[in-house]
Structure 1
Amino acid sequence: MSTTRIPPEHLGTALEQPVRDHLSLTGKARVLDLTRTERGFATETYLFDVEDESGRTPLVMRRPPDMSLFPDYDLLRQVLVMRRLADTALPVPTVSWLERGDNPLGSPYFVMNRLAGKAPSDFPSYHTAGNYFEATPGQRARMWWGCVETIAEVNQLDWRALRLDFLAYPQHGAGVIEQGVNYLEAALRWACEGDPPETYRRAIAHLRDNLYEPDQPCLCWGDARMSNILYDNDFQVSGVLDWEIAHLGAPESDLGWLLFLDWACSEYEGHAPLPGTPTRAETIAYYEKRTGHEVHNLEYQEIFSAALLSIPLLRMTHRVQLPPEMDITGFCTARIEQLVGRGGRAGE
């Protein structure tokens, strides 16, 4: 059994026997067209087809990157989330198998089915390229509301009945907000191998000074953004992706993540959102009507989101020793400074 991490150019060959074994295919089955996607960076994601006598089956393989970007990264966590969401109305991928021990790929990995649909562009942002950019204003609104509807549906699931209590961090505190802030501080120190930059120390201080606890902690998707939604040809949601940072938190958490990242790929880049994109106020109102939950502490959650997203970026900056002019955390830093400077008010 190999203990050497297989490079991308050899993954297709290394995957063939595990695919045959786990999917009960013959020795004639072949892995074809394996390519790494450009989406995301906390997990390596590869698309490939399996061809046998019955035709082609599109699949996805995910494995950790060479350098861990989160201190508690665990493939099992995201696999369990997807498996326990399988019986809900959410269109999540079906995991075929997870390998955590010694195996021919030389690293943990899992394989899942590939859902149909197309996600909005990540880099460059969906406001400047891709299917959201190319859509009409009406179609963009449909895509946006589909994302907000997905967030609302996730937040209203019964996480206890789904046995998702393992997503809590009891070792970091009593309530879900306190747990999140304590985890965030520890993870930032881990990423920087010491004290994080001053802006992030201010963010932690602000979050601690304004701790609160939601009346009803809920399941949070974590990476709740347009680019993690697959849309069909009618611009309806056909897939919900990327559950690495799913957690238990406040209902505003996912909404804050969505709005922070939409700000980052529009206003922060120096241009307005595309026509048809609902406003911040409209988005909050829709979420409140859909869930029956009055939104509070939204900007608090945006500060938390910006600091959380900075963890892998600071980790890369520190470990790769990027030059000062390559500030990949700029949008996170800018949003924190903007919101902490005015007190991190609840959303208007």
Structure 2
Amino acid sequence: MLTVSTTRIPAEHLGVALEPLVREHFPSTGPVRVGGFVRTERGFATETYLFDVNDEYGTVPLVLRRPPDMSLFPDYDLLRQVLVMKRLAGTGIPVPTVAWLERDDNPLGSPYFVMNRLEGQAPSDYPSYHSAGTYFEATPEQRARMWWGCVDTIAEVSRIDWRASGLKFLAFPQHGNGVIEQAVNYLDAALRWACQGDVPETYRRAIAFLREHLYEPDEAVLCWGDARMSNILYDKDFQVRGVLDWEIAHLGAPESDLAWLLFLDWACSEYEGHAPLPGTPSRAETIAYYEKLTGKPVRDLEYQEIFSAALLSVPLLRMTHRVQLPPEMNITGFCTARIEQLLN
């Protein structure tokens, strides 16, 4: 498990502390300056900061990512997501290029990596893309283009030869034999870790259901993990320009990423009490499109949705227990609601 140094540099001092490190990685005959250093609220399992490097050659937009103060997954490791992006380079998936990774003791006081910043706009996370941001402001035709671009990306990821790409390390052999058994056993252990052993009834029922209906797909595929439009950068024509956030990439079933997308879209619309925005393809249309893309029937989708909702609960339950949030701040409510809906 990754540990964070007690000398960790606070966010407000990161830009200054980073500047001498940047000089080491950007040899220049003139001065090198870090500018525009700002934190972005993208994701919460990893802290993300945007900044520019300015030298005599111009400006280079970059991104720094580091673990949060409190780890939200039991096996969090920056190296995992860095290796995924490095090994996806050249596959056609537009991932950022990692400039450097530092996992040992360093002046920032914690592991971190720096990567290039891709151009484009991502739909809103908070508030949801059905109520604000790029997707909300788009036309119905543009929304459909963004949605299908995300589904296309999910299919492209699933077609990657993960063995040839050196991604076998994404398996969890210590948790079982097949990829579904491994995933369920990992989820069970992660929930107990997040809740300090006191796992809520809904999640105990979810694990019991997943174990009772355990299966193995005909073929294990690479799964993006956090498959949603908010992790895609779109250009001005609403085409995919970047695919982000690979912290929970894993090997799993072909339906895994599709289930994640559909579950979170449900959370952003129906759970919030309103229909999806016009132009958003329906669940049935999405499934049919994905089957056409992959040439294979979609199976066990609700099983994968239950898994998705439970997995997303791990960091939320970790925050609830460690920060001791009051009962009225039920940040896992949408996950619990979807699990109960599908189990019943």
Give the TM-score taking structure 2 as reference length. 0.98
Which one-letter code corresponds to 2:279 in the other structure?
G
Distance 2:59 2:105 in 1: 28
What is aligned with 1:183? 186
SS in structure 1 at match of 2:73: coil
Taking every aligned residue pair, what percent have the same amino acid on both sides? 81
Distance 1:130 1:3 in 2: 37
Distance 2:102 2:306 in 1: 36
Distance 1:23 1:51 in 2: 10
Match of 1:217 among 192, 216, 220: 220
How far 1:195 sits from its partner (Å)? Answer: 2.8
What is aligned with 1:238? 241
Instruction: Find runs of 4+ consecutive structure 1 residues off by over 3 angstroms.
Output: none
Distance 2:26 2:162 in 1: 30
Q: Say whether the 8 Å CA contact 1:19–1:25 is kept in structure 2.
A: no
Q: Say whether the 8 Å CA contact 1:172–1:182 is kept in structure 2.
A: yes
Q: Say whether the 8 Å CA contact 2:202–2:340 is kept in structure 1.
A: yes
What is aligned with 2:329? 326
What is aligned with 1:13? 16
Determine whether 1:75 maps to 2:73: no
Which one-letter code corresponds to 2:227 in the other structure?
A
Determine whether 1:171 maps to 2:174: yes
How far 1:28 sits from its partner (Å)? Answer: 1.1
How far 1:27 sits from its partner (Å)? Answer: 6.0
Determine whether 1:30 maps to 2:30: no
List alignment gaps of at least 5 residues for structure 1: 342-348
Distance 1:256 1:25 in 2: 47
What is aligned with 1:44? 47
Which one-letter code corresponds to 1:133 in the other structure?
F
Q: Say whether the 8 Å CA contact 2:30–2:56 is kept in structure 1.
A: no
How far 1:55 sits from its partner (Å)? Answer: 1.2
Determine whether 1:338 maps to 2:329: no
Match of 1:257 among 251, 256, 260: 260
What per-residue deviation string (whole Å, max 9, x for no partner) do you get for residues 11-41 of structure 1?
0111111111112235611111111101111
What per-residue deviation string (whole Å, max 9, x for no partner) do you get for residues 66-97 of structure 1?
00000000000000000000011010000000
Determine whether 1:288 maps to 2:291: yes
Distance 2:164 2:30 in 1: 41
Determine whether 1:115 maps to 2:153: no
Determine whether 1:144 maps to 2:147: yes
How far 1:3 sits from its partner (Å)? Answer: 6.0
Distance 1:109 1:26 in 2: 26
What is aligned with 2:98? 95
What is aligned with 1:131? 134
Which one-letter code corresponds to 2:123 in the other structure?
P
Distance 2:171 2:27 in 1: 36
Q: For this pair of structures, how many residues does the alignment match? A: 340
What is aligned with 1:193? 196
Moved more, 76-85 or 8-17: 8-17
Which one-letter code corresponds to 2:307 in the other structure?
F
Q: Say whether the 8 Å CA contact 1:3–1:102 is kept in structure 2.
A: no
Q: Say whether the 8 Å CA contact 2:53–2:60 is kept in structure 1.
A: yes
RMSD across aligned positions (CA): 0.9
List alignment gaps of at least 5 residues for structure 2: none
Give the TM-score taking structure 1 as reference length. 0.97
What per-residue deviation string (whole Å, max 9, x for no partner) do you get for residues 141-161 of structure 1?
000000000000000100000
What is aligned with 1:344? none
